[in-house]
Amino acid sequence: MSVARLTLSAFPAIAAVCMMSLTVGQAQAQQAVPVVVDRVLAEASHQNVPVIGRFIARQAGPVAARISGPVAEFKVDVGDRVAKGDVLAVLVKDSLKWERELKAAELNRWQAALDTAQETLKLRQQELSRLEGLRRSAAFSQARLDDKRQEVAVAKAELAVAGAQLESAKASLKLAEIALSYADVVAPYGGVVSRRHTEAGAFVNLGDPLIALINDTDLEIEADVPARNVGGLVPGVRVTATLSADKTIDAIVRAVVPDENPQTRTRTVRFQLDAATGATGIAANQSVTLSVPATRAASVVTVHKDAILNRLGKTVVFLHQDGKALVRPVRLGEAVGNRLIVESGLATGDLVVVRGNERLRPGQDISFTAPPTSGQAPAANAAPAPKPKT
């Protein structure tokens, strides 16, 4: 009986405590969630995009035989550095030497024939002059004068033939000398021997490759640049080329090839190396990363990367509106530092949540300290940047 009275008498107090706890819980539930926000900005576009390029030797390829014949010997091996004019290989010269001697003898023969023709013409002209001087003499014969004139004409023709034959012999001798000189295969430019296509004793025909050379001191960079970014690349524009983590060089646009690849939508751009850079140890076909200026509008709208969430497969942000969290889907472009270009969904000046947005619900009350109008960083009470959210 006493227990029953105690229980009944205590009930109002317990009920009051429960009501108080419920009131406190409701007050806590309605309390605004503290977050950190950042402004959506409009800023100048100075973004660069990385493009993979490769070093190209402006002078590289096979050195071919300029005459046919067997290879007598090679003067160089793979890896040897040569200068312009150095002898790389020698073809067998025996027949070429005697061919030159034969042409030289023919030249001498026709030179002698020309000299004889000249003297014969001189003699015939003297005889013609004497006959013409006898016109008033009783010993003059018109027939003999006509014959002598004919002999002078023949002598002139023979002289012309001998002169032409002499010029032909000179040309033949010159060709024989050129063929003999071609037996020495010389380097058309300085570089490094990258390959030997044959060996001594092999017979090569005109145009067959003997040695492959690479001029590693005259290199360019070739890159396939997306067509949308070619607009900022005009001759003379400087870009940065990264060879390794601690080595960069300057490259200068030399030419943009007006031929677009329909599959990749890229255009070939050639870059010269800045002579002042002094880049050494570079090899042909070595990869290099170019920092190419992106071609886009002068001003772009950007949002801080920490505002981006992935909810149900959609890219969204929490936007502040009248003290509440409003979820907003967005479409994003390329990165600009720690910010992302906004293609749609946000406007300049919008406040987006960058800290505390992981557990927010649409319509939830939020509180914050507004960031500076022109600042790009979150408010001063921001926590360290979290990992990308999903």
User: Over the stretch 247-266, which tens digit does the pLDDT of each residue have?
Assistant: 889 999 999 999 999 999 99
pLDDT recorded at residue 9: 44
By C-alpha distance, which of 125, 168, 133 is closest to 149? 125
| 302/275 same-domain check | no
| Residue 6 reports pLDDT greater than 90 | no
**Joined tokens for residue 35:** 């977050």
| 267/307 same-domain check | no
| 278/308 same-domain check | no
Q: Which domain covers residue 359, as residue numbers?
A: 33-47+298-367
**Joined tokens for residue 150:** 């004919």
**Joined tokens for residue 364:** 């939830």
| Residue 75 reports pLDDT greater than 50 | yes
Is residue 252 in a domain? yes
Q: Which of 69-73, 153-157, 310-314, 336-340 has the lowest mean pLDDT?
A: 336-340
pLDDT recorded at residue 385: 38
Q: How many residues does the chain have?
A: 390
The DSSP code for 373 is S
Average pLDDT of the chain, as a whole number: 85
Listed in sequence order, the residues at least 6 apart from 26 whose beta carbon sits closer than 8 Å to its beta carbon are none
| Residue 383 reports pLDDT greater than 80 | no
Q: Which of 22-36, 70-84, 144-158, 204-218 has the lowest mean pLDDT?
A: 22-36
Q: pTM here?
A: 0.57
Is residue 13 in a domain? no
Percent of the chain with pLDDT strictly greater than 70: 85
By C-alpha distance, which of 257, 284, 255 is closest to 272? 255
Q: Where on the phi/psi map is residue 177: left (φ > 0), alpha (ψ -120 to 50), or beta?
A: alpha
At 232, the pLDDT band (50, 70, 90 cuts) reads: confident
Pairwise CA distance, residues 297 & 45, whole Å = 7
Q: Are 282 and 247 in contact (CB under 8 A)?
A: no
Is residue 380 in a domain? no
At 226 the three-state DSSP class reads strand
pLDDT recorded at residue 45: 66
Q: Mean pLDDT across the stretch 162-175?
A: 96
pLDDT recorded at residue 306: 93
CATH of the domain at 224: 2.40.30.170
- C-alpha count within 13 angstroms, C-beta hemisphere, residue 258: 0
Of the residues 168, 202, 229, which one is the last residue of a structural domain?
Answer: 168
Is residue 181 in a domain? no
Q: What is the pLDDT of residues 333-382, one digit of tens each?
A: 877 778 888 999 999 999 999 998 988 899 999 988 777 654 444 443 33
Q: Mean pLDDT across the stretch 59-79?
A: 96
Q: What is the pLDDT of residues 266-301, one digit of tens each?
A: 999 999 998 766 667 788 899 999 999 876 556 789
Is residue 23 in a domain? no
| Residue 160 reports pLDDT greater than 90 | yes
Q: Are 228 and 248 in contact (CB under 8 A)?
A: no
At 137, the pLDDT band (50, 70, 90 cuts) reads: confident
Is residue 88 in a domain? no
Q: Are 163 and 114 in contact (CB under 8 A)?
A: yes
Q: Mean pLDDT across the stretch 84-102?
A: 96
Q: Mean pLDDT across the stretch 45-57?
A: 86
Of the residues 268, 293, 318, which one is the last residue of a structural domain?
Answer: 293
Is residue 192 in a domain? no
Domain count, the chain: 3
Is residue 191 in a domain? no
| 281/321 same-domain check | no
| 108/121 same-domain check | yes
Pairwise CA distance, residues 325 & 360, whole Å = 7
Listed in sequence order, the residues at least 6 apart from 57 whose beta carbon sits closer than 8 Å to its beta carbon are 191, 214, 215, 216, 218, 219, 284
Of the residues 261, 293, 325, which one is the last residue of a structural domain?
Answer: 293
At 144, the pLDDT band (50, 70, 90 cuts) reads: confident
